[in-house]
Amino acid sequence: MNIIVTIKQVPDAANVRINPETKTLVREGVESMMNPLDAYALEEAVRLKEKLGGKVTVVCMGPPMAEAVLREAISLGADEAVLLSDRAVAGSDTLATSYALSQTIKKIGDYDLILGGKQAIDGDTAQVGPGIAVNLDIPQVTCVRKVRECADGKMVVERMTEEGYDVVEVTLPAVVTVVKEINEPRIASLKGKMAAKRAQIKVMTAADIEADLTRLGLKGSPTNVVEIFSPDARQGGVKIEGAPEEQAKSLVTALKEAQLL
Amino acid sequence: MPIKINKETCVGCGACVSQCPFGALSLVDNCAFVEETKCKFCGKCATVCPCEAITVVKEEMEAKDDLGSYKDIWVFAEQKKGQVAGVSFELLAKARELASQKPNTVWAVVLHDGSNAAICDELIKKGADKVLSVSAPELKDFDDLTYSNVLYRLAKERKPEIILCGATTIGRALMPRVAVMLKTGLTADCTQLHIDPETGLLIQTRPAFGGNIMARIRCQNTRPQMATVRHKVFAEMEPDASRSGEVEAVPFNKEDLSLRSKVLEVVENIGEQVKLTDANIIVSGGRGMKGPENFALLKELAEALGGAVGASRAAVDAGWIPYAHQVGQTGKTVCPKVYIACGISGQIQHLVGMQSSDVIVAINKDPECPMMKIANYAICGDLFEIIPLIIKELKK
Ligand SMILES: Cc1cc2nc3c(=O)[nH]c(=O)nc-3n(C[C@H](O)[C@H](O)[C@H](O)COP(=O)(O)OP(=O)(O)OC[C@H]3O[C@@H](n4cnc5c(N)ncnc54)[C@H](O)[C@@H]3O)c2cc1C
Ligand SMILES: Cc1cc2nc3c(=O)[nH]c(=O)nc-3n(C[C@H](O)[C@H](O)[C@H](O)COP(=O)(O)OP(=O)(O)OC[C@H]3O[C@@H](n4cnc5c(N)ncnc54)[C@H](O)[C@@H]3O)c2cc1C
Ligand code: SF4
Ligand code: SF4
């Protein structure tokens, strides 16, 4: 079973701060990291490989420094890594990103399954996985919280829904995006870290993936960010003081008066 | 690169640096320097530079030449077991408002198995001018491929100007497929929509970077303009019995049926209580709950209020309550009338999941924690003491 895992490099969430004066993101000195949900996708891929054989290839589209997350992925059990890095992809929205990634995946070829996180913590759209599925003309299941079975060119998975979950059977190859309930990612072993150091990261350009340049970057992106602003900070309200009994009473009274109960 | 800084005219004032929402700018040798991989080409820096030293060339997609032939607003009416999702009704009401700014017909598009005969009528009473109904046994449950094939075919033939859909699990699986098939743009998880009076374009506002920033997005060169929208940011209409409209039944085209995926079973295991995303009142617990046994207390409070129980990631990670209850960036986004946070400190990743609640109540020992600072009602104290008293008060 050959599995491709899409991995995005994102700013380290724990370090993203807002400049209180300008209300903009402070990303100076902020380290980058692997998109958290992609770590779960990778873990699931490595587990499937350990059970069924085959190999795990990780793919990332990003600047040259994104190589770091691919090395990390190798330390966690991936076998091969491909970085799509080209100025032509800068500014891509999800239509262009999923096109570029699917072209890269076509170049890698020979895959049974494509795994990725449900959503990235920066762009937050959850649109890239389904976009890849359409471009490759293969089925998809999103928000997967469990792989029940995987055999004979089929997979049975649980898709998380608002009410609970759906059990879905899907034929392979398919795109599957995962939520964090799916597993508990491992920590890199010493052997893994050694492998990561030695690994060759294959770098591809837009030409290598035979991409139509009009479908990449800003030119290939129908959505345009026209304005960026900071969300209104919520203003605090009243402090309910007094002995606990009074606090409880005041709260209930206040909620009733506001006709919220 | 689409952004250029003219070193000759830049005076190194730094105004642009502090304005870049993505931290892409810095001063190097008294001159602005842009880190290209961080720049999102939003153009904000150019507007603040006093010396016009920055040019952001907004390269964009070539405009399709048939833009004028697209009209009408479509709302995808998501149904499960014949029941339409609340967010679809909310979007019908919003679509009416958009149609009043720029005259347009509001269509509800429903894919279903016909088990609820009243479904189309209900959509009309709650805002649709017309209903496009595709009914077939194969459309009973959502299937990513089949549903997207049907919707793609309809949109390709009929050319709607706008397609809106709830940002639900289904919506966020279906719409990205349809958008890519139509080769148009899709804005995810919007919290605001309006029509730009000058251009007539749909301006879509959404949070990104975990709610740290808001972005306004438009899709000017392709159609339809598509958006998934959060639930509860708009209010649904009261059903208006006097409204009438046309229902157009479109036969299901068997070619659209995909057998490559299949729902084997639908499990509803959160059904014991109100669904978190639909709840008007949510009582949430965090690390301050100290242990799984204490969630019974929250459940009791939720029941007394007719609400649902939520949790912070700390409580979920500790194994005190299932992940399905997690609120926040990596959990659910909720927008109830009242959110009661018990023993939750209010880290940004939690806040983004609940800060658009109408009223926030915080119960916490620490008066300085972020949750207490943003709460409409902040109760400083021991939750184990206060919650039972609230329950008592409610039962009076
Ligand atoms: C403020 C802002 C708002 C935006 N809003 C929109 C919008 O509404 N619509 C839109 O089309 N675009 C939008 N974009 C552009 C979008 O963020 C980028 O296209 C981004 O490259 C991919 O989207 P995402 O981060 O949301 O990924 P998601 O779709 O959330 O990512 C899901 C999974 O896809 C894989 N993946 C995603 N990107 C990569 C990558 N580069 N390399 C490898 N794997 C990857 C990962 O496995 C990831 O877990 C926005 C950008 C900004 C800055
Ligand atoms: C990428 C990423 C994604 C994340 N996603 C999420 C997410 O989706 N949802 C989420 O919630 N978090 C998320 N987090 C984690 C988040 O940063 C916080 O760690 C988490 O929300 C903290 O939970 P908490 O408030 O329950 O715990 P704490 O921060 O430990 O707060 C406990 C609070 O309980 C109070 N307390 C203790 N005892 C009592 C008592 N007896 N009476 C009253 N008050 C008491 C304390 O004063 C304190 O304020 C994410 C983090 C990262 C990095
Ligand atoms: S265009 Fe926007 S993202 Fe780029 S440097 Fe200027 S302000 Fe920053
Ligand atoms: S605002 Fe203009 S003049 Fe000032 S540092 Fe930036 S580019 Fe230079």
Segment B248-262 shows an average pLDDT of: 95
| Model pLDDT, residue B42 | 85
The model's pLDDT over B327-341, given as tens digits with 9 standing for 90+, comes to 998 888 888 999 999
| Model pLDDT, residue B324 | 86
Range of the domain at A40: 3-220
- B198 reaches A (C-beta below 8 A): no
CB contact under 8 A, A225 and B382: no
**Bridging pattern class, strands B192-195 and B202-208:** antiparallel
Give the three-class secondary structure for B167. coil
Residue A232 has pLDDT above 80, yes or no: no
Instruction: Confirm or reject: Cβ of B324 under 6 Å from ligand 1.
Output: no
User: Can you name the CATH fold of B67-256?
Assistant: Rossmann fold (3.40.50)
Q: What gap in Å lies between CA B324 and CA B274, rounded to an integer?
A: 13
Let me know if residue A154 belongs to a domain.
yes
| Model pLDDT, residue B293 | 95
Q: What gap in Å lies between CA B61 and CA A249, rounded to an integer?
A: 59
The model's pLDDT over A4-59, given as tens digits with 9 standing for 90+, comes to 999 999 987 666 665 655 555 565 556 789 999 999 999 999 999 999 999 999 99
- Topology alike, domains B3-56 and B276-395: no
Query: Which of A:108-167 have CB within 8 Å of B?
Result: 121-131, 133-135, 138-143, 145, 156, 159-167
- Kindly give the distance from the C-alpha atom of residue A59 to the centroid of ligand 1, in angstroms, as a whole number: 14
- A12 reaches B (C-beta below 8 A): no
| Model pLDDT, residue A14 | 60
Let me know if residue A142 belongs to a domain.
yes
The model's pLDDT over B55-103, given as tens digits with 9 standing for 90+, comes to 988 778 888 888 889 999 999 999 999 999 999 999 999 999 999 988 8
- B266 reaches A (C-beta below 8 A): yes
Q: What are the residue boundaries of the structural domains of chain B, listed by start?
A: 3-56, 67-256, 276-395
Let me know if residue A62 belongs to a domain.
yes
Let me know if residue A99 belongs to a domain.
yes
The model's pLDDT over B187-205, given as tens digits with 9 standing for 90+, comes to 999 999 999 999 999 999 9
Segment A98-120 shows an average pLDDT of: 97
Q: What gap in Å lies between CA A16 and CA A28, rounded to an integer?
A: 9
Segment B357-383 shows an average pLDDT of: 95
- Kindly give the distance from the C-alpha atom of residue A97 to the centroid of ligand 1, in angstroms, as a whole number: 7
Question: Is 3.40.1650.10 the CATH classification of the domain at B3-56?
Answer: no
Percent helix / strand / coil, chain B, rounded to 5: 30, 25, 45
For residue A121, give the CATH number of its domain.
3.40.50.620
Segment B224-229 shows an average pLDDT of: 97
pTM reported for the whole predicted model: 0.87
| Residue closest to B84 by CA, chosen among B55, B58, B46, B111 | B111
Mutate to test the interface with B, among A255, A256, A259 (most CBs of B within 10 A): A255
Starting at the edge strand that comes first in sequence, how are the strands of the sheet with B377-380 ordered? Answer: A238-240, B377-380, B359-364, B338-342, B281-285, B308-311
Let me know if residue A244 belongs to a domain.
no
Quote the minimal CA–CA distance from B244 to chain A in Å. 32
Let me know if residue A237 belongs to a domain.
no
Let me know if residue A250 belongs to a domain.
no
| Residue closest to A164 by CA, chosen among B308, B169, B267 | B267
- Kindly give the distance from the C-alpha atom of residue B46 to the centroid of ligand 4, in angstroms, as a whole number: 9
The model's pLDDT over B143-156, given as tens digits with 9 standing for 90+, comes to 999 999 999 999 99
Q: What is the number of the ligand 1 atom nearest to the C-alpha of B190?
A: 8
Name the residue with higher pLDDT: B320 or A91: B320
Name the residue with higher pLDDT: B167 or B349: B167
Let me know if residue A249 belongs to a domain.
no
CB contact under 8 A, A24 and B213: yes
| Residue closest to B184 by CA, chosen among B176, B195, B174 | B176
| ipTM, two decimals | 0.91
The model's pLDDT over B28-46, given as tens digits with 9 standing for 90+, comes to 888 999 988 788 888 889 9
Helix (H) or strand (E) holding B218: strand B213-218
User: Can you name the CATH fold of B276-395?
Assistant: Rossmann fold (3.40.50)
| Model pLDDT, residue A22 | 55
Residue among B290, B317, B345, B390 to mutate when testing ligand 2 (max atoms within 8 A of CB): B345
B378 is written with which tokens?
A: 């902040």
Q: Which residues are within 8 A (CB) of A220 and not within 5 positions of it... i.e. 6 or more apart? A: A92, A95, A96, A99, A214, B61
